[in-house]
Amino acid sequence: MNDALFMQRCLILAKKGLGYTYPNPLVGCVIVNQGKVIAEGWHKKAGKNHAEREAILKVKDPTLLHNSSLYVNLEPCDHFGKTPPCTDLILEMKIPKVIIGCLDQNKKVLGKGLKKLQEAGCEVKIGVLESECKKLNRRFFSFHQKKRPYIILKWAESVDCFIAPKESPRGYWLTDPLSKQRVHQWRSQEQAIMIGVKTALKDNPKLNTRLWKGNNPLAVVIDPQEKLSESKENLNLKGNKFITIRDLDKRLENNLLSGQDILNQLYDKKLQSVIIEGGAKTLQHFIDSNLWDEARIFVIKEKLKSGLKGPKIKRDFIHTSTKIKEDILITLYRDSMISKSC
């Protein structure tokens, strides 16, 4: 059988849960009998059935499972959480072969699901499309391996590298409306969106997904001196759910918290991903600290000639360049493994 083909289908299914499964990973499952797919499933939301259970329960004739192979992009769990262990159900239904994309990096699972299946006599194959499987769950893996959220930087700039003219009105956008919609799609996929307090006070953003159907990310404002709470202005964020990053340890230098201090606070709040949308000072702070994973940069063809300069970042990380109407979207990846699997 073409293991890669069925694993690719698992990845397509798993991606449907992006933005909805936090704090759980993205998982898709395909069950194959005599070369034909007899059931599929994916994890839709934390607390709901895992992908393996979702697929297994769709098989109308359970005896078919006795001669079937189960494909899943992430190691099946072997612990009780909001749902029972998937390994128990796989063994209970006497599925003889399991093909796994990559191991789970959560210490509650890592290697344990694999070991239980093998010790029970199940034939297990691991590492099919491993790079692609790791890339899909890069947010989940970053949280469990690096003890910090996966960090996406996003900004738009003119072809001469300005992100705003000298005098720009609130709600000013450089990019085409289609690019703006793409940004709102991205917001729906991440657990949090972060800006600096200067941007919050100057631009009064909503930081929601009003142009895309999906969950609103948690808004996060870096506000070490608590200027946002002191502001008397009726800001958009004050009517929504948001949190602030404060100077908890009283180690503020030059009015800046270290990038690691900020990420520690986000990790403590169990946030697996954050998209940082500004301003330039905040973005540059994370770039200079080497605390980022992806950078998504819209470049418009017009020149502004003057104004606020955009962040400076090495462009030798470039992996993709996409045209969205008249805008060019450049995506940079710091992790070479992710770059190679794109």
Active-site residue among 52, 54, 132, 157?
52
Which is nearest to 139 in space by CA: 16, 272, 335? 272
Strands 273-278 and 150-158: parallel
CB 105 within 8 A of CB 139: no
**Residue 100 corresponds to which amino acid?**
I
Residue 246 has φ and ψ, to the nearest 5°, of: -115, 175
Going by C-alpha positions, the residue among 220, 236, 233 that lies closest to residue 286 is 220
Please write down the HEC assignment for all residues of 323-338.
Answer: EECCEEEEEEECCHHH
How is residue 26 annotated by DSSP?
P
Residue 230, sorted as left (phi over 0), alpha (psi -120 to 50) or beta, turns out to be alpha
For this structure, is 302 an active site residue? no
CB 280 within 8 A of CB 308: yes
3-state secondary structure of 182: helix
Q: How many other β-carbons are positioned within 10 Å of the β-carbon of residue 24?
A: 24
What is the identity of the amino acid at 194? Answer: M
Q: In the 8-state DSSP scheme, what is residue 146?
A: I
- List active site positions: 52
